[in-house]
């Protein structure tokens, strides 16, 4: 009897204690809300603020620290930022950028053409990604005028310089730990402290482009989408980026929250490894796998219409022929089974999976889970592929590991959520993932995909200035990818930023590296 009593009392005590703790938690969060502090819940992949490492420059820009010469507007047109204007010479190789005369770094140093030159040179020294955008033969600085001469015509150069990789930093500062404090930049905020788990920012006293609305900004990394939503509900953060599709309906009360949602420039796709030795080397097996996936249901039912059904590499939000492209591998489970049997894969042992020469057809699918939709697409693919007889083994890894696995080709299927037009048009994206990678010439393409027709179009595109022709080349390149089954395009996300009504100006833009901007202000000021 005594034992029962003890159990009951312990249960009661635990219950009371957890209630008490819950009470403490919400109280302290609410009382800690100071109006001069902005708190943003984000997902963060970076453990360093060195802009030339990995994609960490994105975080430097997202956190309101760094700015480029050029930025993108709502329609992805390049517009002036640190550069006030630009032009191209008749030789189609010489670009002249006028640097804004008012621009200063957060340490008070003036942003001169010489400083910009030195910053761009540093990017080319330190990042092997820089040359995948463009290469220059000469760069000259004169006062506020910067001249960049490229080795071949680069029609999209201003858009390329809008990529966060080309954030302008003060290279004269050498005694600074870029990994933990970031470089000296020109953005509205400066780093006070940074770790992967939490960043604290303070206003840049020398900001050149208007007043900085908040004295302090706290950015906790809340990688779990559900926790991020709850942090916003409890008032722990004032705004959150990328609330998961299912949770958006929790924020429909417009007196408390504002949802900024936009059809993004992103594609969720699985890269398909077709290198020798991988099961998806066989085009029929690739086609069977793609045909077995019911992507319409994934986007409409599982993700509750927060995704547009996938078909082609470039999303329909960009005008690159989405409707005129044809996918030969539409959802058709019967065709999938037919293709597999044509390729010699038949279920001989009755285990539900097809096999050939005594080996079952197994495909390794690598994914990461900090974006809520990726595990869902991965598991849905596993379920649908099983119906066709393909065994999909799921492997959940950290994003940084996934990135290096993708480059090394250490996968059969590798899913990610990729921005397709970070330079204004999808040329760089198409080249990165599908242009032939011969001995490291294109490190992003770890899939083994190589097509002469694609490479020829890509070479023509790189020198073409006529927008209509450029568009047509990119449409043709996409059709080649679709015909070859060189990617499994799941869908195109609508991206969102949800903010409390205590702040204004939290707008998500198509290029999703503009998160914390000077336009986010307290509602009452």
Question: Which residues sit opposite 308 in a β-bridge?
Answer: 492
Which range binds another protein by CB under 8 A, 108-116, 174-182, 291-299, 421-429?
291-299
Q: How far is CA 68 from CA 64, 287, 468, in A?
A: 12, 42, 28
- CA angle, 59 as apex, 84 and 522 as ends, to 5°? 75
Question: Which residue, chain included where needed, has tokens 């000021």?
Answer: 525
* DSSP-derived 3-state class of residue 302: helix
77 binds another protein (CB under 8 A): no
Residue ranges in 310-420 assigned as alpha helix (H)? 333-342, 373-388, 399-408
Per DSSP, the residues of 85-139 read EEEE-TTSSEEEEEEPTT-B-TTS-B--HHHHHHHHHHHHHH-TTHHHH--EEEE
Count helices and strands in the chain by DSSP H and E runs: 15, 22
Using the minimum distance from each CB to another protein, give the nearer residue, 181 or 394: 394
**What is the nearest approach in angstroms of another protein to the Cβ of residue 464?**
42
396 binds another protein (CB under 8 A): yes
Per DSSP, the residues of 460-484 read HHHH---HHHHHHHHHHHHHHHHHH
Residues 6+ apart with CB under 8 A from 515: 40, 42, 62, 63, 64, 241, 497
**What is the nearest approach in angstroms of another protein to the Cβ of residue 247?**
6
301 binds another protein (CB under 8 A): yes
Using the minimum distance from each CB to another protein, give the nearer residue, 261 or 379: 379
Using the minimum distance from each CB to another protein, give the nearer residue, 79 or 397: 397
Cβ distance 70 to 95 under 8 Å?
no
Using the minimum distance from each CB to another protein, give the nearer residue, 235 or 321: 235
In this chain, which of 80, 246, 316, 505 binds another protein, going by CB under 8 A? 246
**What is the nearest approach in angstroms of another protein to the Cβ of residue 226?**
5
299 binds another protein (CB under 8 A): no
10 binds another protein (CB under 8 A): no
**What is the nearest approach in angstroms of another protein to the Cβ of residue 246?**
5
Using the minimum distance from each CB to another protein, give the nearer residue, 49 or 248: 248
405 binds another protein (CB under 8 A): no
Cβ distance 396 to 415 under 8 Å?
no
Phi, psi at residue 145, to the nearest 5°? -110, 125
Which range binds another protein by CB under 8 A, 83-91, 115-123, 222-230, 400-408?
222-230
**What is the nearest approach in angstroms of another protein to the Cβ of residue 369?**
8
244 binds another protein (CB under 8 A): yes
Which range binds another protein by CB under 8 A, 72-80, 297-305, 446-454, 481-489?
297-305
Using the minimum distance from each CB to another protein, give the nearer residue, 297 or 483: 297
Using the minimum distance from each CB to another protein, give the nearer residue, 356 or 386: 386
Using the minimum distance from each CB to another protein, give the nearer residue, 170 or 247: 247
Using the minimum distance from each CB to another protein, give the nearer residue, 232 or 314: 232
- Residue 124: other Cβ atoms inside 10 A: 18
**What is the nearest approach in angstroms of another protein to the Cβ of residue 372?**
6
360-379 residues in contact with another protein (CB under 8 A) are 369, 372, 376, 379
In this chain, which of 104, 141, 147, 230 binds another protein, going by CB under 8 A? 230
Burial class (CB in 10 A: 0-12, 13-18, 19+), 210: exposed
Cβ distance 308 to 316 under 8 Å?
yes
Cβ distance 492 to 307 under 8 Å?
yes
113 binds another protein (CB under 8 A): no
For CA atoms 106, 110, 111, 114, the dihedral sign is negative
**What is the nearest approach in angstroms of another protein to the Cβ of residue 42?**
18
394 binds another protein (CB under 8 A): yes
Cβ distance 231 to 479 under 8 Å?
no
Which range binds another protein by CB under 8 A, 41-49, 64-72, 383-391, 466-474?
383-391
Q: Rule CB under 8 A: which residues touch another protein? A: 2-3, 224-226, 229-230, 244, 246-247, 249-250, 294, 297-298, 301-302, 369, 372, 376, 379-380, 382-384, 386, 393-394, 396
């Amino acid at each position: 009897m005594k034992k029962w009593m003890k159990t009951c009392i312990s249960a009661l005590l635990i219950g009371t204690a957890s209630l008490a703790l819950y009470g403490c938690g919400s109280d302290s969060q609410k009382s800690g809300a100071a109006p001069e502090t902005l708190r943003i819940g984000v997902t963060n992949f970076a453990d360093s603020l060195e802009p030339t490492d990995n994609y960490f420059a994105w975080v430097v820009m997202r956190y309101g620290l760094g700015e480029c010469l050029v930025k993108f507007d709502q329609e992805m047109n390049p517009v002036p930022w640190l550069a006030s204007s630009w032009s191209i010479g008749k030789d189609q190789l010489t670009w002249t950028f006028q640097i804004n005369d008012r621009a200063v770094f957060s340490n008070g140093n003036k942003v001169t053409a010489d400083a910009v030159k030195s910053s761009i040179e540093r990017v080319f020294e330190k990042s092997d990604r820089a040359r995948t955008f463009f290469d220059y033969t000469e760069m000259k600085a004169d006062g506020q005028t910067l001249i960049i001469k490229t080795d071949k015509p680069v029609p999209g150069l201003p858009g390329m310089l809008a990529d966060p990789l080309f954030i302008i930093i003060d290279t004269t500062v050498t005694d600074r730990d870029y990994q933990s404090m970031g470089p000296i930049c020109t953005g509205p905020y400066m780093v006070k402290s940074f770790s992967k788990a939490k960043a604290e920012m303070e206003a840049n006293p020398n900001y050149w482009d208007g007043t900085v609305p908040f004295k302090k900004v706290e950015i906790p990394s809340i990688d779990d989408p559900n926790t991020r939503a709850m942090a916003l509900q409890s008032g722990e953060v004032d705004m959150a980026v990328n609330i998961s599709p299912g949770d958006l309906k929790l924020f429909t009360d417009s007196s408390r929250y504002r949802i900024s949602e936009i059809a993004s420039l992103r594609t969720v796709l699985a890269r398909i490894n077709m290198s020798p030795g991988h099961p998806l080397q066989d085009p029929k097996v690739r086609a069977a796998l793609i045909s077995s996936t019911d992507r319409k249901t994934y986007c409409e039912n599982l993700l509750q219409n927060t995704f547009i059904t996938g078909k082609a590499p470039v999303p329909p939000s960009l005008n690159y022929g989405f409707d005129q492209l044809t996918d030969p591998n539409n959802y058709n489970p019967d065709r999938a089974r037919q293709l597999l049997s044509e390729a010699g894969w038949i279920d001989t042992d009755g285990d539900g999976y097809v096999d050939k020469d005594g080996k079952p057809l197994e495909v390794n699918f690598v994914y990461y889970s900090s974006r809520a939709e990726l595990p869902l697409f991965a598991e849905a693919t596993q379920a649908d592929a099983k119906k066709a007889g393909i065994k999909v083994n799921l492997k959940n890894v950290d994003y940084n590991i996934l990135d290096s696995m993708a480059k090394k080709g250490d996968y059969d299927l590798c899913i990610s959520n990729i921005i397709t037009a970070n330079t204004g048009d999808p040329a760089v994206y198409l080249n990165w993932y599908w242009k032939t990678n011969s001995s490291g010439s294109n490190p992003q393409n770890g899939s083994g995909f190589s097509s002469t027709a694609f490479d020829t179009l890509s070479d023509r595109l790189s020198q073409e200035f006529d927008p209509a022709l450029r568009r047509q080349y990119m449409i043709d390149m996409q059709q080649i990818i679709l015909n070859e089954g060189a990617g499994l395009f799941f869908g195109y996300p609508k991206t969102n930023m949800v903010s409390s009504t205590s702040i204004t100006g939290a707008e998500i833009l198509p290029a999703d590296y503009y998160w914390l901007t000077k336009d986010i202000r307290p509602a009452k000021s």
